[in-house]
Amino acid sequence: MRNRYLNIKRMLTIASVMGIWCYTGTRTLAQQQPNPFRPPQATAHYERDREYDLQHVLLRLKINETNKTFDGTVTETLTPLRKVSSIHFDALDSLRIDEVSISNRSVSFEHAKNILTVNLPVAVQNRGGLPFNVTIKYGLKSGAKGAAALNGEYGFHWIEADKYVQNKHLSFYTQGETEGNRGWVPIYDYPNDKTTTETIVTAPDSWFIVG
């Protein structure tokens, strides 16, 4: 019994030393890499200011697998939070904006530096806090690719055969979290608003669409 007790005591002592060594090593590593959540590395971040409350998004996509692109029509129901003469949507320059309409009437717009600016008619400006619909017809420019993300690419991304899987079927996916939706649909793309969504996709008969 005495020998067994001594062996257990020695094991506990070795384990204690190993625990101290591991802790010390971790502490040294932390000293070499400053904590990004402490000043001066950490800085104040304020949420984005909203012009409107996005309430519903109805998106229709038509896939063009031959040219590896798509055309889309998105209708967004929104309520202005204050009186403005124009509203803005996040939309990368890789998107082609064809037409913007409000209540079935075309309105002027500008698409530059990844922002779509829609000019509101005076009648809409004077509606107060009543909701209205904005419809945007657009498409993905041929050859456009999304920005790198943690798991793949932001926006709309084609999956094609490669040297590793040569018989891979052509497919695609979209990645929007947290600010990557602007790469495949003009939208308010910041996580301080909630909305309901509906997506209708037209694709080849042999394809399966999972949402």
- Tell me the per-residue pLDDT of 65-109, one tens digit each, with 9 for 90 and over: 999 999 999 999 999 999 999 999 999 999 999 999 998 999 999
* Gap between the Cα atoms of 70 and 24, Å rounded: 55
Which of 28-37, 63-72, 137-146 has the weakest average pLDDT? 28-37
163: confidence class by pLDDT, cuts 50, 70, 90: confident
DSSP calls for 172-195:
EEEE-TTTTGGGTS-B--SSS---
- Predicted confidence at residue 29, as pLDDT, reads 53
User: 184: exposed, middle or buried (C-beta count within 10 Å: 0-12, 13-18, 19+)?
Assistant: buried
Q: How far apart are the first and last CA of the chain?
A: 65
- pTM more than 0.85: no
Average pLDDT of the residues in 113-130:
94
